[in-house]
Amino acid sequence: MSGHSKWSTIKRKKGAIDAKRGKIFTRLIKEITVAARSGGGDPEGNPRLRTAIAAAKSENMPKDNITRAIKKGTGEIAGEVYDEILYEGYGPGGVAVLVECLTDNRNRTVADVRHYFAKSNGNLGESGCVNWMFDKKGLILVDKETISEDEIMDMALEAGADDVVEEESEYQILTSVEDFEDVRGALEEKGVKFVDASVSMIPQNTVEVADEKVAKSLLKLMENLEDHDDVQNVYANFDIDDELMEQLS
C-alpha cells in the first residue's frame, strides 16, 4: 500500500480525524478561501472550490462557515491572505515527501517544516527535488465492506475513472484531475459512500521501509507535519509492511 493510502488508514485507526475536527475545519476554511480567491466564488465555474465545498460538507461543516470562507476569498469580507507553498524533501529511509501549505507567514512555516525534517533524520530539499516522483490525480477511497469489487469497478470505469486498485480495506479509484468531479458526482448519484475523495499527489513508485526504527521516525515526521496549522496535505512514497504498520499503530 502506498504512502498516501497507508497514512490515511493509520490516521483513521488512531481516531485522529474525529479528535482533530477543529483543525480539519480550519484547513478546509483555508482551502475554500484560497480557491475562491483564485477562481471566483461560484462553485459551478470553479472546480477547486466545488471540491473544497464537497469536502467541507462531508465533514458536516455548517453552511454559514462555508459562505463566510467564500466571501473572504472573494474580498466581500475582510480575511487573511494565504500563500500557497509546496515544500519538498527526503524523510528517513530516503522517502520522498511533499508538504502542501497555506500560510500567512512564510518564514515561520519553512522554519518549522525544516525543523521537523531534521528532527526525524530527513532533510528539506530544493523546489523540484521530489515533485517529479508524483502524479497529480483524483483519488476516491471506498470501504471494501460497502460494495463488491465488480460493482465498484463497473461503476467507476463507466463514470470515467482511469483505474481501480484494491487495497487491504478499501478500493482506490484513480482519475485524471479533469475528470475527478464528474467521476465523484456519478458515483454519488449511485449511492456510493466515500471514505475520502480529493485531488492528491500519487507516487509513481514506492520505497520499502522495513526497519522498525526508520518506520517509526518516518511516521512521526508525517504526524508532526500533519499537526502543523499551516500544513494542508502531506504526501510520501513509502511502503511499510502491514504487519509492521500494525505494530507501530
The CATH number linked to 139 is 3.30.70.980
- The predicted pLDDT at position 24 comes to 84
Long-range contacts of 242-248 (CB under 8 A, 24+ apart): 242/1, 242/168, 244/210, 244/212, 244/215, 245/6, 245/10, 245/215, 247/212, 248/10, 248/212, 248/215, 248/216, 248/219
Same domain? 125 vs 211: yes
Same domain? 69 vs 7: yes
Same domain? 242 vs 141: no
- Compute CA 66 distance to the chain's CA centroid, rounded to the nearest angstrom: 19
Beta bridge partners, 66, equal none
Q: Model-level pTM?
A: 0.84
- The predicted pLDDT at position 1 comes to 42
CA angle 225, 31, 190 (to 5 degrees): 105
φ/ψ (deg, to 5) at 16: -65, -35
Same domain? 138 vs 176: yes
Provide the 10 A C-beta neighbour count for residue 121: 15
Same domain? 197 vs 225: no
DSSP 221: H
Same domain? 88 vs 47: no
Same domain? 12 vs 43: yes
- The predicted pLDDT at position 81 comes to 87
Residue 154 domain boundaries: 133-203
Identify the CA nearest to 119 among candidates 230, 228, 1: 228
The CATH number linked to 70 is 1.10.10.200
* Domain count within the chain: 3
pLDDT digits (tens, 9 = 90+) for 191-243: 998 888 888 999 999 999 999 999 999 999 998 998 899 999 999 999 888 78
Ordered strands of the 96-103 beta sheet: 123-124, 83-90, 96-103, 231-236
List, for the chain, all residue ranges whose pLDDT scores fall below the cut of 50: 1, 3, 17-18
